[in-house]
Chains A and B, each alone.
Chain A
Amino acid sequence: MVFAHLTSTPWWPALWSLLKIVFVLVPLLAAVAYLTLAERKVIGYMQIRLGPNRVGFRGLLQPIADALKLLFKEVVIPTNANRFLFLTAPVLAFVPAMLVWAAVPFGPDVAIANMNAGLLYVLAVAGLGVYGIIVAGWASNSKYAFLGAMRAAAQLVAYEIAMGFALVGVLMVAQSLNLSKIVEAQAGGGFWSWYWLPLFPFFLVYFISGVAETNRAPFDVAEGESEIVAGFHVEYSGMGFALFFLAEYANMIFVSILTSVLFLGGWYPPLAIAPFTWVPGIVWLLLKTAFLLYVFLWIRATFPRYRYDQIMRLGWKVFIPVTIAWIVVIGIALETPLRSLLR
């Protein structure tokens, strides 16, 4: 009764949008908190250590302890820093990391905004996070921060192009920019009808570019502890630092979920037969995302950091030519009888 009354009021659409945002962002921030614990645990076990195990049962309350510590830390502003931009930079990094989630589809027609140009939207908004890093590096007025910012800017521009080309391939085959429609185009059969198989080069390029775009190891030269202390966020403490951290991990989850949506069939089960189809679609989507996040941590524990010129070479001279060549291949395939394999 009360609910029916509520939905008929004129401000219900606005309230409903706000509720949807809360439903997405609160679990997201919890996931970010526990991703930091998962990272420390997974890398710990890979290096034959236990990882954090003191706070709570087997260290399960560690993220909460970390968050409390960061909340109560003093925010230090360097004397010669540009005060306004120094304080704005973490917000500039955090806001795009949250905004991209507006277009992520969690099921058929389940999204904050199921927009027509969803793919274009996520590409455009995900590229904005770099402003936080550049502005932080410049406003800190520190050599190390500035070097980190310069590296981040060059790296992000290089990998964004490869990423964009990989997405062009997806939209050529799916014939749509709408993320829900891209997932629906992968339906039928099982894991072999998802796009990772026909678009395998794009799948690899997109995921590796995603690792590079989020400034994760082995592409973390923007932070580069061994060379430039902590890169763009050396001068940050307390919540300023925490916001950069939250943005980085939220972006990791976003790249993983978008890779699942574009290449791993989104909410479809790997085999369209009985025991698999009982599981709700969102569980499949989250399982795929969790697996890709594990790959993020696995890569970090496995590979040494790239040298800066090698990162540039990989981006400009390997990924961009590979994606352009595969776009031509897909373009030709779509005009021949081979198209039945793609759709």
Chain B
Amino acid sequence: MSVTSLLFYVFSAVLLLSALLVITARNPVYASLYLVLAFFNAAALFLLLGAEFLGLILILVYVGAVMVLFLFVVMMLDINLARLQEGFLHYLPLGLAVAILGVLELAAVFWTAPLGHIPAPGAVPADADNTRALGELLYTHYLYPFEIAAVILLIAIIAAIALTLRRRPQSKTQDIGRQLAVKVSERLRLVDLRRPRP
């Protein structure tokens, strides 16, 4: 067994184990930290394939930003596990149905296109720049799907802000524009102290 395939099995094993622990960990903070570990191992698998752009972006976006916000929220919540587990039997049939459907769909995909028939990638030159290759494909051949995805993301951003935006009239937010527009004459009064006032 070569070093690469040994590494592949190590990373995959840790990935699967941490993914399992995400859903079984009793403490939600532990669960999100296991998810971070899972992302890391997925990124390592991308790197083993030579897809350094995808691997690093996975760490940058999911580990560096998304999971930080996740942890942020999870730590603030006081999650009562006993109450969460109450509904377990109630939701079990629905969950099982979704799981079986997912397995069937995956089976259908593998049935029609067996993994063995996908050709192995050819030898990649050492200085191959897959960031450039990806960019050239995205901005030429896949330009429209790429732009549509961007617009959908933009709509989602605006919708998320609009849904949570609430204006509180009594909040004392600083208005920088008004602060800068202040004139000296409105704020400052010079008093001559040498002459006693009558």
Residues of A within 8 A of B (CB): 85, 115-117, 120-121, 123-125, 127-128, 130-131, 134-135, 138, 146, 149-150, 153-154, 156-157, 160, 164, 177, 309-310, 313
Contacts and interface: CB of A to CB of B under 8 A. Distances in A.
Interface string B48-69: 0000110011011001110011
Contacts of B14: none
B161 to A, nearest CB: 12
A121 B56 contact: yes
B106 to A, nearest CB: 30
Q: Which secondary structure dominates chain A's binding surface?
A: helix
B59 A124 contact: yes
Contact of A117 (B56, B63, B75, B176): B56
Contacts of A127: 59-60, 63-65
The 6 closest A-B pairs by CB, nearest first: A127-B64, A124-B60, A124-B59, A120-B56, A117-B52, A124-B56
B178 to A, nearest CB: 14
A149 B29 CA distance: 14
B44 interface: no
Contact of B131 (A85, A116, A123, A309): A116
A123 B33 CA distance: 20
Contacts of B71: 131, 134, 138, 153
Given A123-B60, A124-B60, A138-B29, A116 B65 contact: no
Interface residues of B, number: 24
A157 B60 CA distance: 11
A265 to B, nearest CB: 23
B139 interface: no
A128 B127 CA distance: 27
B53 A117 contact: yes
B72 interface: yes
Contacts of B36: 131
A115 B126 CA distance: 11
A150 B72 contact: yes
A117 B133 CA distance: 13
Contacts of A123: 60
